[in-house]
A = this chain, B = another copy of it.
Amino acid sequence: MIDHREPAEIIDWLKEEGLDVVKTQLTVGDYIVSNDVVVERKSGNDLTSSIMDNRLFEQINRLYEAASSPILILEDFDSIFKNTSMNPASIFGVLVYLAFRFSLPMIPSRDWRDTALILKRLVLRVQVKDEDPILARSVPKLMTLDERRAFILEGMYNVGPKTAVKLIDAFKTPLGVFQALASTSVVYTRTGNPKGLEGPLANIKGIGVKFVLENRKLIEQGNE
């Protein structure tokens, strides 16, 4: 099954080679070879742009939810560096991440012709029934419960990964954090300068006056 937005050349070539091709709309991946094998094809600045807007990791995760053996084809790999202002370190950082964290097989191809060839070989390989994959790798879940709890908190002002985890560690749930924030108040000096905090958040490192003042507006009833 091939997503209908894929290049016509590839589809036509595979048909000419005698493969059963079904053109359809896919919600995950670009090519479905079997129940186990789904292929995502990234060409040129497809890759870089999907890195920059954080879309790539979502796509890869959905690949692994849909199939046990996803494969990524990197088409026209060299051109990836040409039409982008992205740092090569960032690009390889992504590839290393995918290799290390997901053990994701990535196959480079020079053009659509190579890509078609890869797809054909994949189909033939999959059809050889007695050759099952030696290792079906189980990939760790995208987010644990606590990670998702922390993830919610990253919507607040000046809260990134570190602070979010720190807050969840201390108050267990987002609701707990919000309640703690509501019952923390800012202490001022006699001259009216903010001095520090009083309440549940007072003892949390990295949380200060600015944090409380800014985020209270999010949590409490006020309008803008």
Contact = CB atoms under 8 A, between A and B. Distances in A.
B136 A155 contact: no
A51 to B, nearest CB: 12
Q: Chain copies in the assembly? A: 2
A126 interface: yes
Given A108-B77, A144-B224, A175-B178, A100 B122 contact: yes
Contacts of A131: 101
B105 A108 contact: no
Interface in A137-156: 137-139, 143-156
Contacts of A164: 134
B102 A125 contact: no
A133 B165 contact: yes
Interface in A167-201: 172-175, 178-179, 182
A219 interface: yes
Nearest to A161: B134
Nearest to A173: B219
Interface string A91-109: 0110111111111111111
